[in-house]
Chain A
Amino acid sequence: MEQIGNFLALLGENEQMLYFVILSIFVGIEVIGGVPTILHTPLMSGANAIHGVVIVGAIFVMLNTAANDYLSLTLGFFAVLLGTLNVVGGFVVTDRMLEMFKKK
């Protein structure tokens, strides 16, 4: 019972965030509506690049790591590296797909 109370309190404290999430879900659904089949793959690839925004979290965690916490710094280094791959690779490969699209 106490656990449920805690959980409800957690939801209540983050009410604004939850509104934010629900509205974002609807925006996402709205944005995809009525997309032609040929654009499915580039759109997936474009969305793939956008979730690379996770790199912001990786940079943030690095900035808040002490300069002598080597384990966290090493993990953080790889997090930023992999995040960059996701962002740069994602956008460049999407651009290549759409470039081909135009020529047709």
Chain B
Amino acid sequence: MNQHILSILYIIASVLFIIGLKMMGNAKTARKGNLLSAAGMILAIAGTILLHEGEVGNIVYVLILLAIIIGTIIGWTTARRVQMTKIPELVSMFNGMGGACAALISLIEFQHLFPFDHVPPGGSQGHSGTLICIISGLVIGSVSFAGSIIAFFKLNGVLDKPVRLPRYNYINLLILSVVAGISILLFYSASPITIYALLAIALLYGVMLVLPIGGADMPVVISLLNSFTGVAAAFGGFLYDNHVMLTGGILVGSAGTLLTVVMCKAMNRPIMQVIFGAFGTTASGS
């Protein structure tokens, strides 16, 4: 019974996300659209907690509520108090938090599947679908988190100059191939050390991806990382067969990607040049 009500709540929430996002594309209805999406989010969160079936320890409920209360107070006050000019960096920070959340989910789920003390016989056999979701969520979430934090510091003025290592595009390509290599390794031997190594190298890639990009291009980068987090959330949806996470995640993933392209066009900057910018011109530029 509860399960069916939850499914219907998820459908309503998904519809509210879509309508809300559509209304945000028009100056007259934008504010109402944002509130509609927020209402959808409250439905999805409240339903997930209240309609859960099965034994749950009291401490779990206490921790969930505590986390939500602390998060709401911090999120609300910072968003309300921050100066208007500092809003873009705040958006970047919140985006990073979502990415970190997706990465943490993957880590916990990995530990549920392959606990520290005993690796189940047969290793990762029969878990390949789950592993794909865990690895993708972890990598994309961590890249989005690390990238967003760097973007935050760039807009903040802490890292005001683009940092360009010589041949940084090749270095990044190398790091990305290490990410791919460790991911493939996980399918053969799923050990906790491997997953934490993957986490570390994915975080490094996120840092290295955003570090060379100049402050003026940050809005485009944040938009791109925003769609990354959307995709990471969608992989969480795959993992739990949870449709509201899938709709929300994919919606932001595709809308965010298109928005990135549109923003680049509006700024008259080709997207490839933003991301792989000073290809071969290490010393010149800004």
Contacts and interface: CB of A to CB of B under 8 A. Distances in A.
Q: Do A and B come from one complex?
A: yes
Nearest to A54: B233
Nearest to A70: B59
Contacts of A76: 63, 104, 108
Contact of B25 (A6, A39, A49): A39
Interface stretch (B65-73, B156-164, B207-215): B65-73
A65 B60 contact: yes
A53 B229 CA distance: 10
Interface in B102-122: 102, 104-105, 107-109, 111-112
A17 B41 CA distance: 22
Contact of A67 (B59, B64, B84): B59
B25 A79 contact: no
A8 interface: no
B180 to A, nearest CB: 15
The B interface, classified by DSSP as helix, strand, loop or mixed, is: helix
Contacts of B182: none
B258 A28 contact: yes
Contact of A78 (B17, B72, B104): B104
Interface string B61-95: 00110111011101110111010100110110111
Interface string A34-58: 1111111111111111111111111
B151 interface: no
Contact of B79 (A20, A61, A93): A93
A32 B24 CA distance: 9
A67 B248 CA distance: 30
Contacts of B80: 92, 96
Interface residues of B, number: 103
Taking each of A31, A47, A53, which has the highest tally of chain B beta carbons within 10 Å of its own beta carbon?
A53
A95 B31 contact: yes
B271 interface: no
Interface in B200-243: 219, 222-223, 226-227, 229-230, 232-234, 236-243
A29 interface: yes
B78 A57 contact: no
A49 B229 CA distance: 11
The A interface, classified by DSSP as helix, strand, loop or mixed, is: helix
B11 interface: no
Interface string A50-93: 11111111111111111100011101111111111111111111
A38 B20 CA distance: 18
Contacts of A14: 129, 238
A31 B91 contact: no
B226 A32 contact: no
Contact of A58 (B94, B101, B247, B255): B101
Given A82-B101, A96-B79, A56 B244 contact: yes
10 contacts: A14-B238, A28-B258, A49-B37, A50-B17, A50-B21, A53-B244, A53-B248, A66-B57, A86-B75, A92-B80
Instruction: Name the 3 nearest CB pairs between A and B, nearest first.
Output: A84-B71, A67-B57, A28-B254
Given A51-B229, A57-B236, 11 more contacts: A21-B246, A24-B246, A26-B254, A47-B227, A50-B21, A53-B249, A54-B105, A57-B102, A64-B112, A67-B58, A93-B82
Interface of B: 13, 17-18, 20-22, 24-27, 30-31, 33-35, 37-38, 41, 44-45, 48-49, 52, 54, 56-60, 63-64, 66-68, 70-72, 74-76, 78-80, 82, 84, 87-88, 90-91, 93-95, 97-98, 100-102, 104-105, 107-109, 111-112, 128-129, 132, 219, 222-223, 226-227, 229-230, 232-234, 236-256, 258-259, 262-263, 266
